[in-house]
């Protein structure tokens, strides 16, 4: 899997554990959602814990764990399934400050929406990374300076800009 951050392919510092793998005593690990409760009980402060969740997960199922999580990875089963964008916004509204990762078959054209929804990184399969190189992702990130949705990019929305202009 390729990891994209700020329009660049970067190395992943997190290790995704299979459900049958033992939990390590230290390091940055990502566990599946069914395994999260056990991992929270077992892992100590020397470990950084992340979880991968389906895009259908209710935010309330994660709220108690959010302060202990360094990463939440939301699965996108296909590029046309946008439920993960809503989940990301809801997790940010719930106060999650860690890394939000979109994981799945997303395309570069979706990058500004991914960032605007609160995601920090995107994880895509290697075959997709071969077809859409770093240059495409960087161009997609900078394609729009504003959007209609209020997002987490700090760029502001078109509607906010119009309101400011009307007051001037």
Give the tens place of pLDDT for each residue, 40-53.
998 877 679 999 99
pLDDT given at position 119: 94
- What is the band of 150 on the pLDDT scale with cuts at 50, 70, 90? low
85-108 burial: b if 16+ Cβ within 10 Å, else e: bebbbbbbeeebebbbbbbbebeb
Q: What is the mean pLDDT of the chain?
A: 87
Domain extent for 156: 2-167
Q: Greater confidence, 159 or 1? A: 1
Question: Each residue of 54-80: pLDDT tens digit?
Answer: 999 999 999 999 999 999 999 999 878
CA distances in angstroms from 40 to 61, 63, 89, 163, listed in the order given: 14, 13, 24, 45
pLDDT at 158: 55
- Half-sphere exposure for 122 (CA within 13 Å, toward CB): 34
First to last CA, the chain: 48
What is the pLDDT at residue 145? Answer: 58
Determine the pLDDT at residue 159.
62
pLDDT in tens, 128-141: 999 988 888 888 87
Instruction: State the pLDDT confidence band at 144, using cuts at 50, 70 and 90.
Output: low
pTM (2 d.p.): 0.85
Per the structure, how many domains does the chain have? 1
Q: Supply the CATH number for residue 80's domain.
A: 3.40.50
Q: Which residues contact 123 (CB under 8 A, 6 or more apart)?
A: 1, 2, 3, 4, 12, 73, 101, 102, 103, 104
DSSP code, position 150: -
Segment 76-134, tens digit of pLDDT: 998 788 899 999 999 999 999 999 999 999 999 888 888 888 999 999 999 999 998 88
Residue 52 token pair = 């991968």
């Amino acid at each position: 899997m390729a990891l994209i951050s700020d329009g660049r392919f970067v190395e992943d510092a997190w290790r995704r554990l299979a459900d049958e793998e033992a939990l390590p005593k230290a390091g940055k690990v990502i566990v599946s959602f069914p395994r999260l409760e056990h991992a929270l009980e077992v892992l100590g402060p020397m470990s950084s814990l992340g979880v991968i969740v389906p895009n259908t997960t209710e935010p309330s199922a994660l709220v108690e764990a959010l302060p202990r999580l360094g990463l939440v990875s939301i699965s996108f089963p296909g590029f046309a399934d946008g439920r993960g964008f809503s989940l990301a916004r809801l997790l940010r509204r719930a106060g999650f400050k860690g890394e939000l990762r979109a994981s799945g078959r997303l395309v570069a054209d979706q990058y500004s929406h991914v960032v605007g929804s609160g995601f920090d990184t995107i994880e895509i399969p290697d075959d997709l990374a071969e077809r859409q190189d770093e240059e495409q992702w960087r161009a997609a990130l900078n394609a729009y300076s504003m959007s209609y949705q209020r997002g987490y990019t700090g760029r502001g929305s078109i509607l906010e800009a119009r309101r400011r202009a009307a007051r001037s």
